[in-house]
């Protein structure tokens, strides 16, 4: 599995954009970059994934570096409900072992 | 929106007792998982299950653990003789086979407290 590095914590103010970085320099060419988050006292929740191109969905945007060694999850307008631990997980396409492995992630604190 | 449901939400048991944690995955999903999270620690993979058999398991998933899909809807995790260190949140997850890169849908977890 590719090793990832994320800041332990980040802070934001409500309604401001948040950029959550992840380094995954050992990622393989077939690994998709997934992001999950875990709200307090809840199970993990899928956020977004991508391979090479930047991706957008209703929850967030994912910006992937051209060399794929890093990515950034972008929350365009943070809300209090976005306070959670965010996990960056490189994962090969299903067909082989498809087991998300959670690290420590980044704990996002959102101030009102 | 379909969801994974888990019961019980919290179970307290004595050391050495058997515990069964239940999960109802999303109805058209075919891949099932159990994870656990000890308080303050990472979410850890236990086991994955497909086509009525274990696909993969971690070192944590020793002979004290077993999984079963007894009736085509429930997916259970059994701990035969609980230890103090089994105290944790246990999360069930399921995934559809339709997508090549499919997200896992997690339940809200079952908190197990072993006294």
The continuous run of DSSP H or E covering B112 comes out as: strand B110-114
Contact A8/B at CB under 8 A: no
Res B6 pLDDT > 60: yes
Contact A98 B95 (CB under 8 A): yes
Shortest distance, CA A77 to any CA of chain B (angstroms):
24
Shortest distance, CA B66 to any CA of chain A (angstroms):
18
Contact A93 B100 (CB under 8 A): yes
> Please, are residues B78 and B66 in contact by the beta-carbon 8 Å criterion?
yes
**Residue among A34, A46, A97 whose CB faces B56 most closely:** A97
Long-range contacts from A99-103, C-beta under 8 angstroms, 24+ separation: A99/B33, A99/B45, A99/B48, A99/B56, A100/A34, A100/A36, A100/A44, A100/B45, A100/B104, A101/A1, A101/B45, A102/A36, A102/A44, A102/B35, A102/B42, A102/B43, A102/B44, A103/A4, A103/A6, A103/B42
Residues A24-39 pLDDT 10s:
998 888 889 999 999 9
Mean residue pLDDT across chain A: 93
Contact B102 A101 (CB under 8 A): no
> Please, are residues B68 and B76 in contact by the beta-carbon 8 Å criterion?
yes
Contact A107/B at CB under 8 A: no
**C-beta neighbour count of B35 within 10 angstroms:** 28
Q: How far apart are CA B76 and CA B98, in angstroms?
A: 23
Predicted pLDDT of residue B51 = 87
Residue B26, both tokens: 């999303």
Q: Find the residue in B nearest to A34 (Cα).
A: B103
> Please, are residues A107 and A9 in contact by the beta-carbon 8 Å criterion?
yes
Best CA proximity match to B35, nearest among B1, B2, B75, B83: B75
What integer is the mean pLDDT of B15-19? 98
Q: Find the residue in A nearest to B56 (Cα).
A: A97
Res B98 pLDDT > 70: no
Strand residue runs (E) in chain A: 9-13, 18-23, 31-38, 44-50, 55-56, 61-64, 70-75, 84-92, 106-111
Q: B72 pLDDT band (50/70/90 cuts)?
A: confident
Best CA proximity match to B73, nearest among B7, B17, B16, B9: B7
State residue B62 phi and psi, 5-degree precision.
-95, -165
Write out residues in chain A with pLDDT < 50, as ranges.
Answer: none
Contact B105 A46 (CB under 8 A): yes
Interface-testing mutation among B9, B56, B95, B101, with chain A (most A C-beta atoms within 10 A): B101
């Amino acid at each position: 599995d590719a090793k990832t590095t994320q800041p332990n914590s980040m802070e934001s103010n409500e309604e401001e954009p948040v950029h959550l970085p992840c380094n995954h320099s050992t990622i393989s060419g077939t690994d998709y970059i997934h992001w999950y988050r875990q709200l307090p006292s809840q199970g993990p929740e899928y956020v977004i994934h991508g391979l090479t191109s930047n991706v957008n969905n209703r929850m967030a945007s994912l910006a992937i570096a051209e060399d794929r060694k890093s990515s950034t999850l972008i929350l365009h307008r943070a809300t209090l409900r976005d306070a959670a631990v965010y996990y960056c997980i490189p994962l090969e396409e299903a067909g082989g072992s498809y087991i998300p492995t959670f690290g420590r992630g980044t704990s996002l604190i959102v101030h009102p | 929106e379909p969801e994974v449901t888990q019961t019980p939400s919290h179970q307290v048991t004595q050391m050495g007792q058997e515990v069964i944690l239940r999960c109802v995955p999303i109805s058209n999903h075919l891949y099932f998982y159990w994870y656990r999270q000890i308080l303050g620690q990472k979410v850890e993979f236990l086991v994955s299950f497909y086509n009525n058999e274990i696909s993969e398991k971690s070192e944590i998933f020793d002979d004290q653990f077993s999984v079963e899909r007894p009736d085509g809807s429930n997916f259970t995790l059994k701990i035969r003789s609980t230890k103090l260190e089994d105290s944790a949140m246990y999360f069930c997850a399921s995934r559809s086979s339709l997508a090549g890169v499919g997200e896992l849908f997690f339940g809200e977890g079952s908190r197990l407290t072993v006294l």
